[in-house]
A and B are shown apart, each in its own frame.
Chain A
Amino acid sequence: MELETLQIIWFILVAVLFTGFFFLEGFDYGVGILMPFIGRDDLERRAVINTIGPFWDGNEVWLITAGGAMFAAFPDWYATLFSGFYPALILMLLALIIRGVAFEFRSKSDNPVWRTMWDWGICAGSAVPAILWGVALANIIRGVPIDENMNYAGGFFNLLNPYALACGIASFAIFTLHGAVFLTLKTKGELHTRAMSVAKKAWAPATLLSFVFAIYTLVETDLFARLGVNPGIIPVFSVIALASVIFLLKNNSSGWAFAMTGIAIAFSTITIFLGLFPRVMVSSLDPEWSLTIYNASSSEYTLGIMSIVALIFVPLVLAYQGWTYWVFRQRVGTDSELEY
Chain B
Amino acid sequence: MDELLLARLQFALTSVFHFFFVPLTLGLSIFVAIMETAYVRTGNEMYKRLTKFWGNIFLINFAVGVVTGIVMEFQFGLNWSEYSRFVGDIFGVPLAIEALLAFFLESTFLGIWVFGWDKLSKQLHAATIWIVAIASNLSALWILVANSFMQHPVGYRLAEDGSRAEMVDFWALLFNPHVWVQFPHVISGGITTGAFLVIAISVYHIMKNQGDIEPFKKSLKYGAVYAFIGTVLVTLAGHTQMQDLLKRQPMKVAAAEALWETENPASFSLFTIGDEEELRDVFSIRIPGLLSFLAFNSFEGEVKGIKELQAEYEETYGPGNYIPPVAISYWSFRLMVGAGTLMLLTAAIALFYVLRERYSFPRWASALMFWSFLLPYLGNTSGWILAEMGRQPWIVFGLLRTEDAVTPASVVSSGEVMFSMVIFVLIYALLTCADYYLIKKYAVAGIKPEARNEGRV
Chain B interface residue count, Cβ-Cβ cutoff 8 angstroms = 76
Return chain A residues, CB-CB under 8 Å to B71: 93, 97
Q: Is the Cβ of B88 less than 8 Å from the Cβ of A65?
A: no
| Distance of B84 from chain A, by nearest CB (Å) | 4
Kindly state the separation between the CA atoms of A272 and B208 in the bound complex, as whole angstroms. Answer: 62
Q: Does B168 contact A (CB under 8 A)?
A: yes
| A83–B81 touching, CB < 8 Å | yes
- A67 with B115: CB separation less than 8 A: no
A41 CB–B CB distance under 8 Å: no
- Indicate whether A68 sits within 8 Å of B100 (C-beta atoms), given known contacts A53-B111, A94-B423: yes
A94-B427, A101-B434 known; A310 and B100 CB under 8 Å?
yes
Interface string of A67-81 (1 = CB under 8 A from B): 111111101101111
Which of A298, A328, A337 makes the CB contact (< 8 A) with B89?
A298
A313 is contacted by which of B93, B100, B112, B168 (Cβ under 8 Å)? B100
CA A120 – CA B77 in complex, angstroms?
30
Q: Give the interface centre of A64, A78, A327 by most chain B CB atoms within 10 Å.
A: A64
Q: How far is the CB of A332 from chain B (nearest CB, A)?
A: 10
Cα distance, A328 to B113, chains bound together (Å): 12
Give the residues in chain B near A94, CB-CB below 8 Å. 423, 427
Given contacts A86-B420, A101-B64, A109-B438, contact A301 B84 (CB under 8 A): no
The stretch of A205-213, A218-226, A316-324 in contact with B is A316-324
Cβ of B411: which chain A residues have Cβ within 8 Å of it?
83-84, 86, 151-153
Interface assignment of B63: CB less than 8 Å from any CB of chain A: yes
The reply to whether B66 and A57 contact each other, CB–CB distance below 8 Å, is yes
- Within 8 Å CB of A321, what residues of B? 104, 108
Interface size in chain A (residues, C-beta < 8 A): 69
Question: A54-B115, A100-B63, A105-B438 given as contacts; is B78 within 8 A of A86 (CB)?
Answer: yes
Q: Is B378 an interface residue (CB 8 A)?
A: no
Verify if B90 is at the interface (C-beta below 8 Å from A): yes
Judge whether A287 is part of the interface by a CB distance below 8 angstroms: no
Q: Which residues in chain A, 80-98, are within 8 Å of chain B measured between CB atoms?
A: 80-84, 86-87, 89-90, 93-94, 96-98
Residues of B within 8 A of A50 (CB): 115
CB < 8 Å neighbour of B408 from A72, A101, A151: A151
B198 contacts A by Cβ under 8 Å: no
Docked-complex contact A153 and B96, CB < 8 angstroms? no
Tell me, yes or no, whether A107 is within 8 Å of chain B by CB.
Answer: yes
A300–B392 CA distance with the chains assembled, in angstroms: 31
Contact for B88 among A63, A72, A313, CB less than 8 A: A72
Is A4 interfacial (CB-CB < 8 Å)?
Answer: no
Q: Which residues of A sit under 8 angstroms from B74, Cβ to Cβ? A: 67, 82, 89, 93
Contact status B100-A339, CB under 8 Å: no
Chain A residues near B101: list those with CB within 8 A.
309, 313
B442 interface residue per 8 A CB criterion: yes
Q: Which residues of B contact A55 (CB under 8 A)?
A: 111
The segment from B116-124, B177-185, B227-235, B317-325 that touches chain A is B116-124
CB distance B104 to A317 under 8 Å? yes
Contact of A324 among B59, B62, B111, B408 (CB under 8 A): B111
Asked if A236 is at the interface (CB within 8 A of a chain B CB), the reply is no
Please judge, given known A-B contacts A305-B167, A324-B112, whether A68 and B419 are in contact too, CB under 8 Å: no
B76 to A: closest C-beta gap in Å: 7
In the complex, A306 has a CB within 8 A of chain B: yes
Shortest distance in angstroms between A229's beta carbon and chain B's nearest beta carbon? 25
Residue of A nearest to B69 (CB): A64
Is A58 in the interface zone, CB < 8 Å from B?
yes
Set of chain B residues within 8 Å of A109, measured between Cβ atoms: 437-438, 441
| Separation of A61 and B107 alpha carbons in the complex (Å) | 8
Known contacts A86-B416, A108-B455; decide if A100 and B84 are in contact (CB<8 Å): no
- B107 CB contact (under 8 Å) in A57, A83, A103, A310: A57
Set of chain A residues within 8 Å of B96, measured between Cβ atoms:
65, 68-69, 71-73, 306, 309
The answer to the question of A148 belonging to the interface, with a C-beta cut-off of 8 Å to chain B, is no
A79 and B85 contact, CB distance less than 8 A: yes
CB distance from B97 to the nearest CB of A (A): 6
Q: A64-B103, A79-B77, A97-B68 are in contact. Are A53 and B167 (CB under 8 A)?
A: no
Q: Once the chains bind, are A64 and B99 in contact (CB under 8 Å)? A: yes
Q: How far apart are the CA atoms of A78 and B87 in the complex, in Å?
A: 12
Return the contact of A97 from the options B67, B78, B79, B107 (Cβ within 8 A): B67
Bound-state CA distance A61–B139 (Å) is 13
Q: A103 CA to B60 CA in the complex, in Å?
A: 10
Complex-state Cα separation, A105 to B432, whole angstroms: 12
Given contacts A65-B100, A151-B408, contact A79 B434 (CB under 8 A): no
**A327 cross-chain contacts in B, Cβ below 8 A:** 112, 116, 119-120
**Inter-chain contact A79/B456, CB cutoff 8 Å:** no
CB-CB contacts below 8 Å: A8-25 with B = none
B98 x A328 contact (CB < 8 A): no
B362 to chain A, nearest CB (A): 35
Give Cα A87 to B97, complex, Å: 28
| Residue A44 interfacial (CB < 8 Å) | no
Do A78 and B427 have beta carbons less than 8 Å apart? Answer: no
What residue in chain A is nearest B420 (Cβ atoms)?
A90
B312 lies within 8 A of chain A by Cβ = no
Residues of chain A lying within 8 A (CB to CB) of residue B167: 298-299, 301-302, 305
B342 cross-chain contacts in A, Cβ below 8 A: none
Complex Cα distance, B114 from A55, in Å, reads 11
Contact across chains for B59 and A104 when beta carbons are under 8 A apart: yes
Whether B419 pairs with A87 at a CB distance below 8 angstroms is: yes
Contact A107 B457 (CB under 8 A): yes
Is the CB–CB distance between B104 and A65 below 8 Å?
yes
Bound: A54/B455 CA distance, A: 15
> Does B212 touch A at the CB level, under 8 Å?
no
Q: Of A72, A98, A104, A151, which one neighbours B93 at CB under 8 angstroms?
A: A72
**B388-422 vs A: 1/0 string, CB under 8 Å?**
00000000000000000001101110001001100
Among all A-B residue pairs, the 5 with the closest Cβ atoms: A75-B88, A82-B77, A72-B92, A68-B96, A71-B92
Interface residues of A (CB under 8 A from B): 50, 53-58, 60-61, 63-65, 67-73, 75-76, 78-84, 86-87, 89-90, 93-94, 96-98, 100-101, 103-105, 107-110, 150-153, 298-299, 301-302, 305-306, 309-310, 313-314, 317, 320-321, 324, 327-328, 337-339
Instruction: Apart from A94-B427, A309-B97, A327-B116, list 5 A-B contacts with CB within 8 A.
Output: A67-B99, A89-B74, A101-B67, A298-B92, A309-B100
Q: What would be 24 A-B contacts, judged by CB atoms less than 8 Å apart?
A: A53-B115, A61-B107, A64-B70, A68-B92, A68-B99, A69-B96, A76-B88, A79-B88, A89-B74, A97-B427, A101-B63, A108-B438, A108-B455, A152-B411, A298-B88, A298-B89, A299-B89, A302-B89, A302-B167, A305-B93, A309-B101, A324-B111, A327-B116, A339-B455
